[in-house]
Structure 1
Amino acid sequence: MKILIVSDTHGHEENLERVVEKVGKIDCLLHLGDVEGQEDYIEALVSCPVHIVAGNNDFFSELPREIVVTIGDYRILMTHGHYYGVSVETSMLKEEALARGCNVALYGHTHRPDLEIESEITVLNPGSLSYPRQHGRKPSYAIMEIDEKGIAHYDIYYLESCK
C-alpha cells in the first residue's frame, strides 16, 4: 500500500500535480494543511481516498483541525502542527498522538521535512511542495509504504526543480 503525504501547498498545486504523475498509483493521499481553498481540486486530482486537515492559513475552512485515520495496523494523527509548537519541537505532538493511541503523527507547518522514528511512535513532516524552507529549498513530499508483512516504511523525496 502506497500513501502519499504532502503539506503546505498554499493554493499552488503545480508541484502536487508533478508528484502525483511521478509516483504513479497511490492508495491514499494525506494532506497536512494550508491548501488555501483547493481541497476540492486536490480530491479530484487522484482516484483514491484523500484526507485533508486545516492549516493556519486555511481561513474560514470547514476542514477538520486534526483527524485520526487508520491505515493497516497504523493509527495516524494528522494535524498541521501549529497548535503543538512544532516550529520549536515535536514533544507535545508526540504526547498527544500517544494519548490517542496513535503510533504515527504527521504534521506540516514548518515547511521543513523531518522524520523521527522511535520505538513507540513515528513523527513525519513531508515539508512543503510550494514554499520549502530547509537548506537547498527543494520542494518535498513523503511516501509511507506498507509492505506485504504490514510494516510501514517512510521516505522523503525532493523535486529537482520547480515549475
Structure 2
Amino acid sequence: MKILIISDTHGAHRNFDRVIEKEQPLDMLIHLGDVEGDEDYIPAVADCPVHMVRGNNDFFSDLPGEEEFMIGGYHIFITHGHGYYVSMGEERLKQEARGRGADIAMYGHTHRPFYEKEKDLITLNPGSLCYPRQQGRKPSYMLMQIDDNGKMEITQEYLNP
C-alpha cells in the first residue's frame, strides 16, 4: 500500500500535480489542511481514496477539523495542528494522539518537515508542497508504504524547484 502525505498546498496546483505524476499509482492520499478551495480538485486528480482536514486558512470549508481512521493495523490521527499550537512544539498534539490511542499523529501548519518515532507514537509533518519554510526551502511531502506483512516505512521526499 502506497500513501502520499501532503499539507499546506494553499490552492496552488503546480507542485501537487508534479507529485501526483511522479508517485502514481497511489492507494491513498492524506492532506493535512490548508487546501484553500481545492477540496474537489485534489481527490479528482489523486484518483484514490483521500482523507483531508480543514486548516486555519480553509475559512469556508466543510472539511472536518480532525479525523481518525485505520490504515492496516495502524490507528491514524490527522489534524492541521494549529489547534494544538504545533508552531510552539508537538507536546499538546502528542498528548491528544496518545489519549485517542493513535499509533501515528500527522499534522501540517508549520510548513516544516518533522518526523519523530517514539516507542508508542510516530509524529510527522510532511512540510509544505508550495510554501516550504525549512532550511533550503524545498517543497516536501512524505510517502508511507505498508507491505503485505504490515511492515510500515515512512520516507521524507522533496521536489526540485
- The verdict on a shared fold, with TM-score over 0.5 as the criterion, is yes
Letter of the 1:131 partner, please give it. Y
C-alpha deviation, 1:148, in angstroms: 2.1
1:156 corresponds to which residue? Answer: 156
C-alpha deviation, 1:137, in angstroms: 0.3
Letter of the 2:98 partner, please give it. L
2:59 corresponds to which residue? Answer: 59
C-alpha deviation, 1:152, in angstroms: 1.2
Q: How does 1:52-131 map to 2 (within 5 A)?
A: 52-131=52-131
Gaps of 5+ in 2: none
Letter of the 2:63 partner, please give it. L
Distance 1:16 1:64 in 2: 21
Distance 1:156 1:131 in 2: 16
Letter of the 1:109 partner, please give it. H
Dislocated runs of 4+, deviation >4 Å: none
Letter of the 1:142 partner, please give it. M
1:44 corresponds to which residue? Answer: 44
Q: Secondary structure at the match of 1:108?
A: coil
Distance 1:96 1:145 in 2: 25
How big is each residue's C-alpha offset from its partner over 1:85-113, in whole Å with a ceiling of 9 and x where there is no partner? 11111111111111111100000000000
Letter of the 1:148 partner, please give it. D
Q: Secondary structure at the match of 2:41?
A: helix
2:5 corresponds to which residue? Answer: 5
